[in-house]
Structure formats: C-alpha cells, structure tokens
Structure 1
Amino acid sequence: MIKSLESLVDLAKGKDKRKIAVAAAGDYHVLKAIHNATEHGIVEPILIGCEDDIKRISSEIKFNVKPHKVINISDPYEASLEATKLISDGKADFLMKGLVSSRLFLKAVLNKEFGLRTGSLLSHVAIFETPYYHKLLGVTDAAMNVDPDLEEKIDIIKNAVKVFHGLKNRNPKVAILGSVETINPKMEATMHAATISMMNYRKQIKGCIIDGPLALDGAISEKSAKLKHITSNVAGEADLILAPDINGANILYKSLNFLGGATSAAVIMGAKVPIVLTSRGDSEKSKFLSIALAAAIS
C-alpha cells in the first residue's frame, strides 16, 4: 500500500499514459489540474467544451493545448455526452467533470444508449492523508448515496475496496461507523454494520477485513480501542471508513479537509471507468491528486 498521496503520481507513472476525457473543460481550476497532470506525464487530455474558453484559460495559465485534442462543444450536457461516448468507444480511459452541474454530467454518464452503466451502484470514494493519522484513510460515501440500505452499503464497500486494491492494499481494513460499538436493534446503522461484518467473516464479502459497528475513535485510535476493551482486527487500524449515510460521510470529509489539515483525492466508482468528480471547495492540489488516483487505478 502506498504511504502518501504524492505516491499516486509515481503509481500512475508506472502505467501507460492514460487518456482523460474532460467534459465542459473550460474551467480555470480544472485546466490547472489537467496542466499539472500533463506536466507530470500521467495523462493525455481530450478537452471537450467551448474551444474559445479552453484556449483563453489555457493561455492565462501557460498551458500549451496545441499538442492535445480539443473538441469544440459549447453546451455542457452535449460535451458530457461526447466525453462519455469517447469512453464507450475505447478512445479514453477515464472521465472528469468540468464546468457542468453534477446532475447533467451524471445524466450523460448513465445514458442508456452508450453510457457507462455496469449494473453496480455508483459511489464516492475519498482517500485522505492527514498528519494526525499514521496512514492513508479512505472515507465513503460523501457525495452520491443519501441514505444507503444494507445492500447498497455492501456495494459501496466493494467499490471502495477496488480502489484500495488498485493502490496495492490487497486486504484493507474496513470500519463501519456507528455512534456506539454495541449492536442495538433500535439503531439500524448498528444492525447493518453487524450483518455486513458477519457476511465478511463468512467470506460472503471478500478482499477486505470488516468490523462494525465502531465509533470513530475506536476505528482510528488504538488507545481508544484499548480503553473500550474492543477486540478487533480493524479497531485503531482502519484503512477505510463507511459512514452510515451521506450526512455523516460529508461532515467527516469536510472536517478532515478543513479542520484536520488533510489532503485528499477522490473518485466515483461503479461505472465502467473511474470518474473524477470534484467539488467547488476542493483545492487545486486535491483535483490534481484525484486525476492521479483515477489514472493509477484505471
């Protein structure tokens, strides 16, 4: 398993250069991240969007787009459709959202004619590097699934585990969060956690070690786990955290970024290829590292 997010760049460089289709690419921060990724030699961009905007912004940031393919489509939804079609036709390896709403972008990605559906649930996987934890930490799902049921949580875990496998962690430790470590029939999150943990124990979910419910301190602090007398292969050593719902995951995501001094990279999993779908609040570094993450696992 890699030890830092900067290692994503080296991991991506170890593969053939990946082609990234950028939908509605006429965005300053997106083009800065793409420029950075091309400078590091990890992607070959195909930029779909308003050509005038792409060239104007590229000139401002001293990004020479002449060697790269630019497809002039001003409408953001149509640009998203074209980017999706490039993936479907095997002309690009992964996808990135530019200056287009997530709703329209995902509508294009999931269109029935040539979309990227696989039958799996789409989910958001973020990887954090923080000075307050001894290794990289994954969090899911902070962006896609509002209130996942038991089956959806299983799919979300499977999507995230694929990311960790791509990062050379063949058996990630997954903590399913709850407010307590005890199983309470009146608290659905604890029942889900216990069920999924037992499914993992009985090899119905493979490729990882799962335990839950675990409170956050028990999941990431060995000291807390010992004080609570938690016997677990995951407690204090979690690689990946599954939150009960989007509220908990999103709060944790933003707390790590804005209060925890973390750097992050994130992708959407469950489609035919990884999808880079960053938020407006994400830093330029986070956008670049998200591209590197997608390139490394695609």
Structure 2
Amino acid sequence: MHEVIAHRHRFRALLARVQPGAAIPTAIAHPCDAVAVAAAVEAAEEGLITPIFVGPASKIGAAAQLAGVDMARFRIVDAPHSHAAAAQAVALVKRGEARLLMKGSLHTDEFMHAVCAPDGLRTDRRLSHVFLMDVPRYARLLLVTDAAINIFPTLMEKRDIVQNAIDLAHVIGVDNPKVAVLSAVETITPALPSTVDAAALCKMAERGQITGGIVDGPLAFDNAIDAAAALEKGIVSPVAGAADILVVPDLESGNMLAKQLSFLGGAEAAGIVMGAQVPIVLSSRADTPRARIASCAVAVLLAQAAKTTASALAEH
C-alpha cells in the first residue's frame, strides 16, 4: 500500500501519520476531466477518502472513461454546471454528508466563491492556503503560505495566515514550528511595508495574539533557510537557517517562490486550505500523483484532529 509516494520520504511520513479507520467522505466539486477523477480515485484506493463526485453526470462519466475508472462503486451527485457543482459540494459538507471538500476541474475563484458564500464554509478565521513542499535540498518539509488565496493580505489577515500554518504544522507533527516572515531585507524599512508587517507579527507572537510557534522577521529567503547565509550577515535568530514555515508578503511573491522551488528546485508540493469549517484540497492538473495523495493525507489528518478535539470537548 502507499506505493504512489514511496520514494518521497517526507510525504510518506505524512501518510504514515493517518490513523487507520474508515475513509472520510469527501465532496469533489466538478471533477470533469480525467486528472480530477483519477486524483479522487487514487485517494480512495489508498483508503483515505470516500469520494462523492458532484457535477454533470455525463461529463463525469466521460472523464472516468478517459481515466479508465469504473464509477459503479462511487456516488455521483448530478449538477448542471460548475457553479452548481461547487454550491452542491459545499451543501453536502454543510449537511454532514461529507467531511472534506476537494476542487475538481473548475477554476479556483469559482470554487472558492461557493466556499465563501454567506451560507458557505467560512469561520471567524481568515481562509488561507498552505503549500507543503518536499524540497530535495532542504532538511525538512517546508510550508509556504499564502500563495493561492489572499492577494494582498492586511496585517490582521497575515496574523490568521500565520496561525493557520502553525496549526497545520502541529497536526503534521511539528510541535513548535519556526516561522520566517519573509521580505527583501532583514531590517525594518518603512519603504518596504512587508518589513513593518513582519515586525508587528513578531510582537503579536510575543503578546499571545499568535500562539504555538516561534515567529521571526523580516528575514530574506536565504537567511530563513540557510544558516551560513544568516551567519554571514550577523543575524542572530532562532528561526534563521531552520524555518519550517515561510510567510510571504503577498500572493504574487508566494506563487513565484512555490513555482521556483518546484520547477528549479525539484520540489513537490501538496496543498491545503485552512480556516474553513472543513479542510479543503485545492488540486491542480500539474500535481504529481504523490502530491495529490499527500494533499489528501493532510486533509484527513486535519479532519481526524478536529474530530479528536471535538470528542475531547464533548467529554468535558
């Protein structure tokens, strides 16, 4: 079992943390191409999820045929188009018929519009995306946030982005993650607003507005991930050279960083949306099978942790 991600030990370690038991019902919004169908079926065959395919039944059937998948064993909820599919997938979660949500072959903005609708899945916490990147030349799994949802986050939105990433790190076994708030320089420079935000986030962590991790910044990318680079610049920091989480200034910089790590650094990237009522998997056609399985494994870990927390609260 789990052969798909066997040679990526960091992703394999994620899968090993999943508690054995029943697969988690997962609503897949508009899985109308072969890649989207195959991704869901791969996760089902790994015992992670029980997929519920939501979208035009004829298109899902055609995509399954292209993928060589027999759909007889899976539930299909017919929806006329992608907008309706996203809304119905969210509704399945709201009714408790699904505990995870996954994007199929529709655009991310259309998918997230249903998630963020007044009757959607938002909470008091800002939604944010976290990449979990297996970078061959880095000693640990590297979390990068937010490179997919928040375009120009405010300071308070960055607070939630940081907290979401820390919470995720705890679930995957990093008890006290080191968080590097990135900018172009390491000094507070008003002309670079990201440095001011970084300083404020550090103070928020000192005062308990961010909990569960060690936050430092501003740090340039090299100083965050390379101890020698930090030493050369005389930077004394518990985070420098050993970051678990990289917090980027905005979506553009995060998108570029994640793609550079993938296409030049040979990294593979799983991804998850945090801050909603349930974990959300944002799949991509470019994802490898290993990355798709790892994304589902992280979502399952989050769902299992939420269930454990809810049970503990109920007992008290």
Q: TM-score range by the shorter chain?
A: over 0.9
The match for 1:28 among 28, 34, 56 is 34
> Does 2:136 align with 1:151?
no
Q: Deviations over 1:188-231 (max 9, x none)?
A: 11111111112212333111110001111110001111111211
What is the root-mean-square deviation of aligned Cα atoms in Å? 1.7
Percent identity among equivalent residues? Answer: 39
The equivalent residue for 2:137 is 132
Query: How is 1:24-103 mapped onto 2 (pairs within 5 angstroms)?
Result: 24-103=30-109
The equivalent residue for 1:216 is 221
**Distance in 1 (alpha carbons) for counterparts of 2:159 and 2:136:** 30
The normalised TM-score by structure 1 is 0.94
Corresponding letter in the other structure for 1:143: A
> Which stretches in structure 2 are left out of the alignment for 5+ residues?
1-7, 304-316
Q: Deviations over 1:19-65 (max 9, x none)?
A: 11001122211111112111111111001112222223323333232
The normalised TM-score by structure 2 is 0.89
- Asked if 2 retains the 8 angstrom alpha-carbon contact of 1:15 and 1:296, the reply is no
Query: How is 1:1-12 mapped onto 2 (pairs within 5 angstroms)?
Result: 4-12=10-18
Matched residue count: 296
Q: Deviations over 1:91-137 (max 9, x none)?
A: 11110111222222122112223x11112211110000011100100
> Which stretches in structure 1 are left out of the alignment for 5+ residues?
none
Q: Deviations over 1:50-88 (max 9, x none)?
A: 222222332333323222211121311111111101100
- Asked if 2 retains the 8 angstrom alpha-carbon contact of 1:13 and 1:42, the reply is no
> Does 2:174 align with 1:207?
no
> Does 2:120 align with 1:119?
no
- Asked if 1 retains the 8 angstrom alpha-carbon contact of 2:103 and 2:282, the reply is yes
The equivalent residue for 2:309 is none
- Asked if 1 retains the 8 angstrom alpha-carbon contact of 2:100 and 2:278, the reply is yes
- Asked if 1 retains the 8 angstrom alpha-carbon contact of 2:11 and 2:290, the reply is no
- Quote how far apart the aligned CAs of 1:283 are: 3.3
User: Is the alpha carbon distance of 1:224 and 1:97 closer, same or farther for their aligned partners in structure 2, counting shifts above 3 Å?
Assistant: same
Corresponding letter in the other structure for 2:118: K
